[in-house]
């Protein structure tokens, strides 16, 4: 698929301590990926894709910028499909989209800034819930501290036919608006869940927004979930995402409200990040 570059996110990232990260493991067999089938590929108008993950049987968590095409226009519901556990041409479940709601402070046309990563979060409501004993939605949690080990399950342009797992990368820096991670991401990994691990099982603690460079080495940028899912759910309860005739539209902030835009994926030279998806 072609690479869609929707603009540059230019800001200096602080130098972060070096961290050891495991390599990506491609989960090409169903046995390998059985515990991760709630992560899936989001097909976008047949031209691009992102990664998303079920947090309830009917809600998919992803990055807000995934709801827009290369021109910054909203995608229609019929242009989006969630393929749970997509692997080698088959999915564990196929679902169409009923509506999608981005964070109210997200604006695809806003000037780039580090804050846009923070609001690069959206929820997609499926037309029909995924009720399958092998596809278990993930719990979510608050941001992890710097130094904590995390993991990412994602699709990308060079590994688009099966999910890949990096089960040990690290939170290099925790800032008010973003997490800087050592996790390996690439085009198509926008919206990928960042997992913390513990006795209660994996919990999603962030959503991959971009990749960038810090002090000359590649990093990934994650949007913390801090209260943002609750904000979007409240908007959905109030009917956000629908217009008259049930037309599909992600929610937009009112004129004059704070507007921050999200980032996708990076091809940086220096300390910068570009939002993009394949």
Q: What is the average per-residue pLDDT within 228-249? A: 76
With CA atoms as reference, report the closest residue to 60 among 19, 21, 101: 101
With CA atoms as reference, report the closest residue to 180 among 33, 21, 52: 21
Distance CA 95, CA 66 (A): 17
pLDDT computed for residue 161 by the predictor: 76
Q: How many residues would you count in the chain? A: 278
Q: 230: which DSSP letter?
A: H
Distance CA 179, CA 151 (A): 13
pLDDT computed for residue 202 by the predictor: 94
Most confident listed range (114-128, 175-189, 238-252): 114-128
Angle of CA points 99, 100, 103, to nearest 5°: 150
Rounded to 5 degrees, φ, ψ at 53 are -145, 140
pLDDT computed for residue 21 by the predictor: 56
Query: Which of 28-42, 169-183, 226-240, 249-263 is predicted with the least confidence, judged by mean pLDDT?
Result: 249-263
Distance CA 160, CA 64 (A): 20
Tens digits of residue pLDDT in 151-197 = 999 887 777 777 788 888 999 998 889 999 999 888 778 999 999 99
Mean predicted lDDT score pLDDT of the chain: 79
> Domains of the chain, with CATH numbers?
6-277 (2.40.10.120)
The residue whose two tokens read 């800034």 is 113
Q: What is the average per-residue pLDDT within 222-251? A: 78
Q: What is the average per-residue pLDDT within 217-243? A: 90
Choose between 107 and 130: higher pLDDT. Answer: 130
pLDDT computed for residue 165 by the predictor: 80
With CA atoms as reference, report the closest residue to 264 among 192, 204, 215: 192
Per the CB < 8 A criterion, the answer to whether 112 and 262 are in contact is: no
């Amino acid at each position: 698929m072609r690479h869609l570059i929707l603009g540059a996110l230019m800001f200096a990232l602080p130098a972060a301590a070096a961290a050891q990260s495991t390599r990506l493991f491609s989960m090409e067999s169903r046995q390998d990926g059985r515990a991760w089938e709630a992560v899936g590929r989001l097909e976008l108008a047949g031209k691009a894709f992102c990664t998303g993950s079920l947090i309830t049987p009917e809600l998919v968590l992803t990055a807000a910028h995934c709801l827009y095409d290369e021109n910054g226009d909203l995608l229609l519901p019929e242009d989006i499909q969630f393929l749970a556990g997509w692997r080698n041409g088959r999915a564990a479940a196929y679902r169409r989209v009923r509506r999608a709601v981005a964070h109210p402070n997200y604006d695809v046309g806003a000037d780039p800034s580090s804050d846009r990563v923070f609001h690069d979060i959206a929820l997609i409501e499926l037309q029909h819930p995924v009720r399958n004993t092998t596809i278990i939605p993930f719990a979510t949690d608050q941001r992890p501290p710097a130094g904590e080990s995390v993991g990412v399950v994602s699709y990308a342009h060079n590994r688009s036919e099966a999910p890949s797992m990096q089960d040990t990368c690290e939170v290099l820096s925790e800032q008010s608006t973003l997490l800087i991670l050592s996790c390996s991401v690439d085009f198509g990994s926008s919206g990928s869940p960042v997992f913390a691990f513990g006795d209660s099982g994996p919990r999603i603690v962030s959503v991959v927004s971009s990749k960038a460079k810090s002090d000359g080495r590649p990093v990934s940028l994650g949007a913390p979930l801090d209260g943002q899912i609750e904000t979007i759910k409240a908007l959905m309860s109030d009917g956000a995402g629908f217009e008259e005739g049930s037309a599909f539209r992600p929610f937009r902030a009112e004129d004059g409200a704070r507007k921050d835009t999200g980032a996708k994926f990076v091809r940086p030279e220096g300390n910068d990040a570009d939002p993009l998806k394949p």
